[in-house]
Amino acid sequence: MKILTVLGARPQFIKAAPLSRVLREDHQELIVHTGQHYDANMSDIFFEELNIPKPDYLLNVGSGSHGKQTGEMLAKIEEIVLDEKPDYLLVYGDTNSTLAGSLVASKLHVPVIHIEAGLRSFNKKMPEEINRIMTDHVSEFLFCPTDTAVQNLKNENITHNVFNIGDVMYDAVLYNKELAAEKSSILSENGLSEKGYHLITIHRAENTDDVGNMKNILEAFSKIEDVKVWPIHPRTKHKLEGYGLSLSDVPNLKVIEPVGYLDMLTLEANAKKIITDSGGVQKEAYFMKVPCVTVREQTEWVETLEEDANILVGTDVKQLLDAVSKEVHPSYKEVFGDGKAAEKIVSLIDNR
Ligand code: UD1
Ligand code: UDP
C-alpha cells in the first residue's frame, strides 16, 4: 500500500513522527512537505530530533495569503498525486496544507485519511475551522482523538469510517518525555527553575491579527510579576513589529526563539502554568498535568476545561490575570486515549 502524506506546519511534523514510525513498518509512505513552515526552528529541527523520514517532495510554497498559499499547494500536490498514484493521501489537523492535500486527493478520487478529524470550535472566522470542515467532509477515514470529535462528525452526518483512536500527540509525548528530560538543557540555558515560571505561546490569527487583542494580552502579561518565558512564533514576532509593540517593557519576561520539541516538552513539564492559544500546547499541558490558561474564546479541546485544568479567558485582561493566579487542583483523566493511536490507525487502515 502506498500512502502519500502531506504536511507543512510545525504541529504536523510532531504528529507525523509517531505515525510514520508505525506506518513504515509495513507500508510505503512518501512525504510531501508543502513548505508552509520553513525556518529551521519551525521545520528542520523536528525532522532531525524526532527522526521523521526526510520529505520525498519539498514544495517550498512558503508564506502568503490564504488563496495564494493554498492555491500554489494545490497545483503542486496535484502533479505529485497524478504521478505517484497513491492508494491513500494522509493529512493531519487543520492547516492550509491539510486543506490543499485533501482537496487535491478527493478531486482525483484518492481516498483521504484525516488524522485529528472532527474537531470544532464553531467559529467559522478561524481559518482552521474552514480547513477542518472541508477536510472532514471529503475524507474516507476519519481518525478522531476524542468522543467529542466523533459526536461533532455525527452532528454533520459523517459516520462512515469514523474512529476514536485517541490522540497521536499523546503518543508523541509518551515517546519523547523521558528523552526530553535527559537531553534538554533549556532550563539552565535560560536561568529557569522547576515550577518557577509561566510558559507562554501565542500565535493564533484571531489574536495576532488584531492589534487591540495583542495590546490586551501584553497588558495582562506586564501585570504578571512571575518569571515568564515565551518562545515566540514568527507570525507573532512580525505582527508585534508591525504594530510597533515592544516586549521589553514586560517585567520578568524572557523572549526566546521557537524551540525544538524536546526543549518545549521540558519547558511545559516544569512550568507553573502554561498560557497559550495553541491547540497542541493546550493538550500537552493536560498530558503533563500543568494548569493551562487559554487566550481564546473557544477551544476544540473541551475535555481540558473540566475542573479548570484549562481556563478559557479570551483577551480580557482581568480574566487572564484571575485565571493565572487561581489555584486549581484538577483530577486529570485519560480522555485522549492510551498513547497507542498510531498502531490503531495503521491496523484500522489495514483491515479496511
Ligand atoms: C499555521 C496554521 C495554524 C497552526 C500554525 C502552527 C493555517 C491557516 N494556519 O499558522 O492553524 O496553528 O500554523 O504553528 O494553516 N513564518 C515565518 N517562518 C516560518 C513560518 C511562518 O516567518 O517558517 C511567519 C510568516 O510571517 C508568515 C506567518 O508566520 O506569514 C504565518 O505563517 P502561516 O504558515 O501562514 O500561518 P501560521 O500562523 O504559522
Ligand atoms: N512547539 C515546539 N516549539 C515551540 C512551540 C511549540 O516544539 O517553540 C510544539 C508544541 O510542543 C506542540 C506544537 O508545537 O507540540 C504546537 O504547535 P503550534 O502551537 O505551532 O500549533 P497548533 O497546535 O496551535 O496548531
Return the ligand 1 atom nearest residue 203 CA.
38
C-alpha cell at 37: 513552515
- Quote the CA–CA distance of 263 and 180 in Å, as a whole number: 7
Query: Across the strands, what pairs with 162?
Result: 142
Query: What is the distance between the alpha carbons of residues 214 and 238, in angstroms, rounded to a whole number?
Result: 12
Nearest CA to ligand 1 atom 17: 234
285 by DSSP, 3-state: which?
helix
CATH number for the domain running over 2-167+337-351: 3.40.50.2000
Ligand 1: residues with CB < 6 A are 9-11, 36-39, 42, 63, 94-96, 127-128, 203, 234-235, 238
Residue of the nearest CA to atom 23 in ligand 2? Answer: 280
Confidence of residue 331 (pLDDT cuts 50, 70, 90): very high
pLDDT at 316: 98
Summary mean pLDDT of the chain: 98
b/e map 57-75, b = 16+ CB within 10 Å: bebebeeeeeeebbebbbe
Q: Where are the chain's structural domains? A: 2-167+337-351, 175-325
Quote the DSSP letter at residue 296.
S
CATH of domain 175-325: 3.40.50.2000
Per-residue pLDDT at 352 = 83
Beta strand ranges found along 202-243 (DSSP E): 228-231
Other Cβ atoms less than 10 A from the Cβ of 265: the count is: 24
Rg (CA), the chain: 20
Q: What number is the average pLDDT over the span 72-89?
A: 98
Q: What is the pLDDT of residues 228-280, one digit of tens each?
A: 999 999 999 999 999 999 999 899 999 999 999 999 999 999 999 999 999 99
Contact residues for 3 (Cβ-Cβ < 8 A; gap 6+): 23, 27, 28, 29, 30, 86, 87, 88, 89, 90, 113
User: Which three three-digit cell numbers place residue 302?
Assistant: 473541551
Statement: residue 334 has pLDDT above 90: yes
Cell of 320: 487572564
Average pLDDT over residues 193-207: 98
pLDDT value at position 46? 98
Q: Does the structure show a pLDDT above 90 at 186? A: yes
What's residue 102's pLDDT?
98
Residues recorded for the chain:
352
Residue 155: strand, helix, or coil: helix
Task: Output the pTM of the full model.
Answer: 0.98
Query: Do 2-167+337-351 and 175-325 come out as alike in CATH topology?
Result: yes
Asked whether 254 and 271 are in contact (CB, 8 A), the reply is no
> Residue 9 C-alpha to ligand 1 middle, in angstroms?
7
Q: Quote the Cα angle for 82-85-87, to 5°.
A: 140
pLDDT in tens, 104-139: 999 999 999 999 999 999 999 999 999 999 999 999
Pocket residues for ligand 2 (CB within 6 Å)?
10-11, 14, 201, 203, 231, 258-261, 264, 278-281, 284
* Strands 88-92 vs 141-144: parallel, antiparallel or unpaired: unpaired
Kindly report, residue by residue over 41-67, the tens digit of the pLDDT.
999 999 999 999 999 999 999 999 999
Identify the H or E element spanning 274: strand 273-276
